Structures are given as C-alpha cells and as structure tokens.
Amino acid sequence: MSIAENIAQVRANIAAAAGAAGRKPEDILLVGASKMNDAAACREAIAAGIDALGENRVQEMTGKLAESAYDGAPLHFIGHLQRNKVKQVVGKAELIQSVGSLELLEEIEKTAARLEMVQDVLLEVNIGEEAAKSGFFPEMIFSGAQAALERSHIRVLGLMTIPPAGVDREDNLRYFDKVRALFIDMNEKLFHNDLRHLSMGMSGDYEDAIRAGATMVRVGTAIFGSRHYT
Ligand SMILES: *Cc1c(COP(=O)(O)O)cnc(C)c1O
C-alpha cells in the first residue's frame, strides 16, 4: 500500500469513527507522525492531503527542514523537547504539541519574545502519571495553563496526551475520557471555551480517541508503515 492509499484508509476510518460519535470528520485533523521517514515520504503525504506533519526529534526535523520536506503542510513538534533545543523549534514548528513543564514554557516564552512572535502550543498531560514520561500530571495542568496565560509570547490551543503503553482497550479509553474531562473543565474555567484542540490517538487507537473527543490524531505507522530502529 502506498502512503496515499494508507492516508485514504485512515481518513475513511476517521470518518466512520466520527460518524459513529455524531461528529463531523472535518473537525478532526490528521497529523502524520513522520519520524524516521525521509523527505520524499513527507512530500508524498503532503501531496495526498495530510493536514500536518509531526516530528519528534529536533535533529531529524532540522535536517528535513533543510530539504524542504514540509513545504505545503504545517509542521508540528510532537516529541519530548529539551530546553537546550527550544531555539531550534520555536518559530519553525507552527505548533509545539508537547509542552509538559513550567521550565519548558519559560524557555519557549524567552525564545519567542526574542523573535517577537507568539508560539502556539498544546500542553501535554501525563495522564498515567508515569515517572519516565514528560507532561504535566493532571493535578498540575491548571497551574501549567495559568503560567502559559501569563506569558504573552505563548498561545495555548489545547491539550495533548499519550496514555500509558500496553494497557487494555477499556483502560485506554478511560485515560482518553479523563483527558477530555480535564480539557472541558480547563477550557471553561480558564479559556472562555476558546481552546480548539485535543490531540490524542495514534495508529492503534485513533478511532477510540475520536469517540472520546479528539480533534487531532497523530498517526505514524498506519500511514508510513512500520519504523525500523537500528
Ligand atoms: C510516533 C508518534 C506517534 C505515532 O505513533 P504510531 O503508533 O506509529 O501511529 C504519535 N505521537 C507521538 C508523540 C509519536 O512520537
């Protein structure tokens, strides 16, 4: 199957999941998670109408930017971002989906201020409260949002999450539901219901995420095929 055929299949699945949930497919953005796929694969996905591409390694993103791999689609940063690499991402990625600490917010603010721009971000929720993962724990997400609201060079568009790996489908759904509840609460209390995006769901669970209210799914394997780590 080609990348274009895979995208068509994923779009059909998104439409079915949206329909089953009484939602409109056009309200769900398809972000291609293009890590470990080359510039040619990115261009193929863009030609096939992907809504955005998401990278999670700064070095790889920088290399592919130099090859104009993302021309024609918005670029998102979706991976763990170290503070010392913020300069390479702010102003390059239209949306940084993975902002999971006050320190990172601070660094993005400083960099965006220097560039005299406003950086769009999602706040990442560490919904499983996993020590090895980044992201705000649920009880910290309001203070994270508050801190972001006080920074004039950062605009929060919503939340992003990656539930713990290896849980069964029901538990996974429970995590999605919890994040959705946080999103609704935070949106109402802090953002006048202006938040647009709830980014959750990957190749194995994007249809469930859509049923649980995702507005953005990040799909890699189901579009680009399996990744080969060496
Ligand atoms: C790789 C990646 C994805 C996509 O994962 P697949 O299971 O290949 O669809 C989604 N989100 C993030 C943050 C990723 O790093």
In angstroms, the CA 32 to CA 55 distance is 9
- What pLDDT score was predicted for residue 230? 62
Mean pLDDT by 10 residues, the chain (230 residues): 97 98 97 97 98 98 98 98 97 98 98 98 98 96 98 98 96 98 98 97 98 98 87
Query: Which secondary structure element, helix H or strand E, spans residue 87, and what is its range?
Result: none
Ligand 1 touching residue 221 (CB < 6 A): yes
Choose among 37, 42, 39: nearest CA to 52. 42
Atom of ligand 1 nearest to the CA of 227: 8
Residue 57: C-alpha distances to residues 17, 37, 94 (Å) = 30, 12, 15
- What pLDDT score was predicted for residue 228? 77
Question: pTM of this prediction?
Answer: 0.97
Please check whether residue 199 is in contact with residue 122, taking contact to mean a CB–CB distance below 8 angstroms. Answer: yes
Q: Candidates 58, 78, 217: which one to mutate for ligand 1, based on the most atoms within 8 Å of Cβ?
A: 78
Q: At what angle do helices 39-47 and 3-20 cross, to 10 degrees?
A: 50
Block residue for tokens 């780590």: 229
Atom of ligand 1 nearest to the CA of 226: 8
The pair of three-digit structure tokens given for residue 155, joined into one six-digit string: 């605009």
Ligand 1 touching residue 32 (CB < 6 A): no
Distance 29 CA to ligand 1 centre (A): 15
Choose among 163, 144, 139: nearest CA to 154. 144
Measured in residues, the chain has a length of 230
